[in-house]
Structures are given as structure tokens and as C-alpha cells.
Amino acid sequence: MDKRPQDTRVVVGMSGGVDSSVAAWLLKQQGYDVIGVFMNNWEDINDWGNCTAAEDMADVQAVCEVIGIPHQIVNFQKPYWDRVFSYFLEEYKQGRTPNPDVMCNREIKFKELLQRALDLGADFLATGHYAQIRQNGQYVNLLRGADSGKDQSYFLHTLDQRPLAKAMFPIGHLHKSQVRELAAQAGLPTATKKDSTGICFIGERNFRAFLSHYLPAKPGEMRTLSGEFKGTHQGLMYYTVGQRQGLGIGGSGTGEPWFVVDKDLARNILYVEQGHDHPSLYAQALLASEIHWISQAPPAIREADGAIRCTAKIRYRQADQAARVYLEPQGNCKVVFDHPQRAITPGQSVVFYAGPVCLGGAVIEQTAPVPTSATVR
């Protein structure tokens, strides 16, 4: 960074939560020219998806007054609907489980908001993500956040070099408890505010009721993989691989819980099996599409069979799993894990790491058999 902090303008994306509040406060304490911006991404329609926008906007205003920085409200409802919510609905329509947080970061925060920040004369866009960045020669690395329990690099894996070169993550080196302490010391009104959970546009509302408002439910049969009829499901979009709750067939068979193991979209059948460790819940390999490398190219160091050796996650809070990535044409890849993985879910992200560095990721399409080393690809 060539310019002094006082000559550097930073726009902070502020959500009304404690993390972005402390991010803005820290930057102001460090002498930066800080502007807070609240994104209004969702409009209440027929009282669906409140997302506490009014309360959050009021909190942003109160925090900015305490810090002593100006703030603005920007309306991104149309791009959010077009690029995030429409994707969300289409994925569920296809029987998959989408990850709207990943799409929101790529399309809204680090595209629309970044452009608005640049229009305001900003040198950088800062957010309250638990992640870190490091200059590595001509490239910018995305690193895990210091708090392993809060690390959000998983949700940022689709970013490329341009937004990362303009990004700042002021709390990435802190733990959540430290962030809360700083907020209290600074007298920020969000110091004890509860963290938001779930998907913003659904808020505290019932997920099934919300989704049925936009997509018609299509009930169908619930069967075991051997074909035994177990009941009726309410619509494939309401279920995800590995799900236990909401099946309504507990207590039958061996008495163990039942879990979703697969979906047949063409025949509208939900497949279930009994037992947390049922073999059909596990697979050692997956196929993925839309592979993205943060450094713009896959790692050059490969194993003898062409594999990229790394660790990977198939869900946000999962511990790192040792894996090999085999590149395929058209941006696809096969990921082979050292050990079987439970509930690999189409539509979710598989994200790759080399130590603290997030390499990138891809969209899970389906599980795959583990080929021999001679035929793998």
C-alpha cells in the first residue's frame, strides 16, 4: 500500500452486525478515510423474507454516528434478485441444494458494492469477513481467518484477483471473542447483537413455507434404494442429502433414524435409508463443475498421475479432508478423497486449500466411483 491511511479511502460494507461494525471502527482508528455503506438487497413481498432490514439499517446509522463516519444506503434489489435469488430458486427447482452466500459474495458484495465503492473514490472495499489476504508476488492470496470456528474463506472462494486486490478484511486476524470485546470497548451499539443465521431473505420464517411461495411443491413417493415404499415426501426441493429431520418415518425398521440418501428428479422419488452410517451416505469421490482458481491458474505442482494434492471441504464447517483433484475438460474436475465423505451434496461447493491458503473451488455435481490410479481422470 503506497498511500498513507489518511490519504486512503475505504468503503466498508456494513450489515448492521458486530463484525462489520468493528471492521469500520478499526479502520477509523487506524486513520483511514472511512465510509460505511449498507446494502438493501431484499424487498419484503407479501410479508415474506423480512430480513430485519429496517433494524439493521438503524444499527448501521447508530454505529457510524459513534465511530464518526458518513454512511450511505444502496439499493441492490434488482441485481440480487437477478443473480442470487433466481439462481437460488433454479437450483431448488432442479432438486439441488444451492449456496447463495457464495453467489452473493461474488455477484453483489465484490462486484456491485465494489463498483459503488470505486465510484465513491475508494481505494479499497472492506467487509467483516473472517478471512485474510496476503500479497504473494504478482498475486493476492486468500487466507483462512485466524478464528478457525468462524473462518469464511469457504464463502469467498469464487473471487478472483481483481476484487481481492481491492479487498480488506480488518477483523480476519481476530477471534470472535476479541471482536465482541473491541465492540464493547468502543461503545458500539451492536456489541451484544446476536449473529444472524441462515439465509437473509428467509430470516426466521419457516423454510418450506417460504420456498412454496415461489415454487410449487410436488409431493411424491419416499422409497428405500431397494424399492420399499416408506411414505410420501412433500416435494424434493425440501430435502437435502444427509437430512434426518422432517421425514416422518422415525421408529420403523430397526428403530434407527432415517436419512435422505438420494433423489430421482425424473420420477420424483426421495430415497431414504436407515442409520447415520449407512453405506449409501458415503462416497470417496465426486464430480464438480465451474472450477475456479483464485490465482487464475491451477497449482503447477502435481503428482505423477497429474493430481493436484490439497485438502478440501464439501461444506462450510467441515474439517479439512485430504484429497486429490484431477482436472477435466470444460472447467470440470474429479475430486478423490483419501477417506469416504458423508452426504456429498449436489449444488454445494467443494473448496480447495493448501495449508492456510484457499486455492479456489468448484460446484458439486454428483458422487463418483473411485477409479484405479491407471484409469483415473
Q: Which residues are catalytic?
A: 104, 200
Give Cβ neighbours of residue 28 (< 8 Å, ≥ 6 apart).
Answer: 34, 67, 68, 69
Helices 18-29 and 53-67 cross at an angle (nearest 10°) of 20
- Is beta strand 258-264 parallel, antiparallel or unpaired with respect to 269-274? antiparallel
Largest CA distance in the chain: 69
Residue 15 to residue 61: CA distance in whole angstroms: 11
CB 37 within 8 A of CB 14: yes
Query: In 70-146, which ranges are continuous DSSP H helix?
Result: 77-80, 86-93, 100-104, 114-119
CB 257 within 8 A of CB 304: no
| Cell numbers that stand for 322 in this block | 485430504
**Closest alpha carbon to 199 in 51, 350, 43, 348:** 51
Render 108-130 in DSSP notation, one character per residue: IIIIIIHHHHHHTT-SEEE---S
What are the respective helix, strand and coil percentages of the chain, to the nearest 5? 25, 30, 45
Amino acid of residue 233: H
**Closest alpha carbon to 312 in 341, 289, 281:** 341
